[in-house]
Amino acid sequence: MPHDPVVIGVDSSTQSTKALFADAATGRTLAVARAPHRVTGSGGARESDPEEWWRALCEAVTTGLEESGVPASAVRGIAVAGQQHGLVVLDRDGRPLRPALLWNDTRSAPQATALTGRLGGPRAWTERTGSVPVAAVTAAKWEWLRENERATAGRCAAVRLPHDFLTERLAGVAVTDPGDASGTGWYSTATGAYDREILQLLGLEAELLPTVADTGATRVGALTASAADALGLPPGVAVAAGTGDNMSAAVGLGLGGAGLLDHPVLSLGTSGTVFAATRNRPADPALSGFAAADGTHLPLACTLNCTLAVDRIAGLLGLDRDDAAPGGEAVLLPYLDGERTPDLPAASGLLTGLRHATTRQQLLGAAYEGAVVTVLRALDEVLRACGLDPAAPEVAARPLRLIGGGARGRTWVETVRRLSGRPLVVPAGTELVAVGAAALAEAAVSGADPVSVATAWGAGEGSELPAVERDLASWERIVSVLDGAGATLLGGP
């Protein structure tokens, strides 16, 4: 009996790859299969073998076929959403020359600082690319490679982002999309193309880079015979351009030109991010001024230390992650891997305000508070980038959408409510990056707008939590530490 058409959305994240099988008409999730990959490195180094990403993608898709009972012939489209910024360098045969430098590899911080000055400062960068180089940005990682592994850089025949690498393995074409490209540091959100002057500054030939498709929903080809065989799918399945993970999450939430504009989102995962889809092109040095997958814009701020850092504190204290209480006088900034926002790549964790009466539960609560305040501080800047006044009552009453693994944690949710004072919407869908990728895949097949597809699927709908009175005392205590002596202690200027 014929099966209803199915699309596959792939979320290739820092720690694992997920393949979500969705009914193309309704968006109903038929299966989500996962496969892990490793992150290696100590100190500031964070690396992964791109071949592990490909093996994990193949494993997740083949497992998903088995678990869902979907016949391979029913699959009509696939798209990849990948972790942003990672630097993948390939030889002439498309094989990695070395492990990929990941977004949270902070070794490239000095190169980011040097690049900022070489182009004329932060404003010059934001006017052209929308963002100022930080350690996470691909351009800084390329500079680190050129300075520290000159022979490898010299042998490089292709430069890719993680999602580009996987899309090329699927369809055999070197292509990216404006959303993920806008996180490289060499793509101009002002012109919608690679910036030739910046490429020259980096000593990077444009021929080494993938072509930029119109949007992440653009059909760029079909599964090659070898990819189809590895995945257990028929050749000819449509492959979309795909996008970066944050852009894909926005699609999955129904954010963009055909859906919700200027509605803020807070994502609690390995990193903490706050973003919104808007028609305004952001050019604020305090933010990453990304392009969105549907042709709008995605001002975003990202922190390095979120759920994993707080889980680490819980482990050190011998507590379950929800065995926490408000921090009281204690302030704990869990910057265990340096920090990106604020830009403190040399930072380490900071604890102050400890008293005899301080409990383990309060210390864990203080870690939650430090992580939440760090990402919420950028919320007002994101709203301003959307052309909104954060203090306006109608803006303050706009719900904050809470996603990511932390959105399923009681303490995370309550800490965000208490410190933001905003109403929350917690979407029912748990795999919004993969859902967004599935919507991109369906749009590539049907020609529909991907945000309209995701909105019709209802992926962004969920429970609503009313605002509670904001805990301004805790907020001000934490901010005073961060903005005062704490900045110096954390490795700031």
Is the residue at 82 inside a domain? yes
Is the residue at 349 inside a domain? no
Catalytic site residue 380?
no
Is the residue at 46 inside a domain? yes
- Dist CA 448 CA 431 (whole Å): 21
**Does pLDDT of 339 surpass 90?**
no
| Count of structural domains within the chain | 1
Provide CB contacts within 8 A for 109, sequence distance 6+: 44, 134, 135, 140, 338, 345, 346
Mean pLDDT of all residues belonging to the chain:
94
Query: Tens of pLDDT along 259-272?
Result: 999 999 999 988 89
CB atoms within 10 A of CB 278: 24
Half-sphere exposure of 139 (CA within 13 A, CB side): 31
> Can you list the alpha helix ranges (DSSP code H) found in 318-460?
360-376, 379-385, 393-396, 410-420, 432-446, 450-457
pLDDT band at 387 (very low <50, low <70, confident <90, very high): very high
Query: Tens of pLDDT along 183-195?
Result: 999 999 999 999 9
Q: What backbone torsions phi and psi does residue 2 show, to the nearest 5 degrees?
A: -60, 145
Is the residue at 256 inside a domain? no
Point out the least confidently predicted range of 18-32, 48-62, 417-431, 475-489. Answer: 475-489
Is the residue at 450 inside a domain? no
CATH number of the domain bearing residue 189: 3.30.420.40
pLDDT score of 278: 96
**Does pLDDT of 332 surpass 70?**
yes
**Does pLDDT of 197 surpass 90?**
yes
pLDDT score of 279: 96
Is the residue at 380 inside a domain? no
pLDDT band at 404 (very low <50, low <70, confident <90, very high): confident
| Alpha carbon distance, N-terminus to C-terminus of the chain | 66
pLDDT score of 271: 86
**Which domain covers residue 36, as residue numbers?**
6-245
Point out the least confidently predicted range of 108-112, 123-127, 230-234, 270-274. Answer: 270-274
pLDDT band at 1 (very low <50, low <70, confident <90, very high): low
**Does pLDDT of 487 surpass 60?**
no
Q: What backbone torsions phi and psi does residue 453 show, to the nearest 5 degrees?
A: -60, -50
CA angle at residue 265 from 264 to 271, to 5 degrees?
Answer: 135
Is the residue at 68 inside a domain? yes
CA angle at residue 321 from 367 to 417, to 5 degrees?
Answer: 60
Q: Which residue has the tokens 């404003």?
A: 123
pLDDT score of 298: 96
Under DSSP, the state recorded for 446 is H
The DSSP H or E segment spanning 66 is: helix 50-68
Is the residue at 334 inside a domain? no
Q: What three-state secondary structure class fits 424? A: strand
What would the DSSP string read from start to end of 241-277?
--EEHHHHHHHHTTBSTTSB-S--EEEESSSEEEE--
Under DSSP, the state recorded for 207 is G
What would the DSSP string read from start to end of 327-344?
-TT-EEE--BTBBTTTTB
- Dist CA 248 CA 216 (whole Å): 9
**Does pLDDT of 13 surpass 70?**
yes
**Does pLDDT of 443 surpass 90?**
yes
> Can you list the alpha helix ranges (DSSP code H) found in 287-359?
307-317
Could you tell me if 296 and 261 are in contact, meaning their C-beta atoms sit under 8 angstroms apart?
Answer: yes
Query: Tens of pLDDT along 147-194?
Result: 999 999 999 999 999 999 999 999 999 999 999 999 999 999 999 999
CB atoms within 10 A of CB 314: 21
3-class SS letters over 79-94: EEEECCCCEEEECCCC
Catalytic residue among 11, 105, 177, 245: 245
Mean pLDDT throughout 73-85?
Answer: 97
b/e for 453-466, b at 16 or more Cβ within 10 A? bbbebebbebeebe
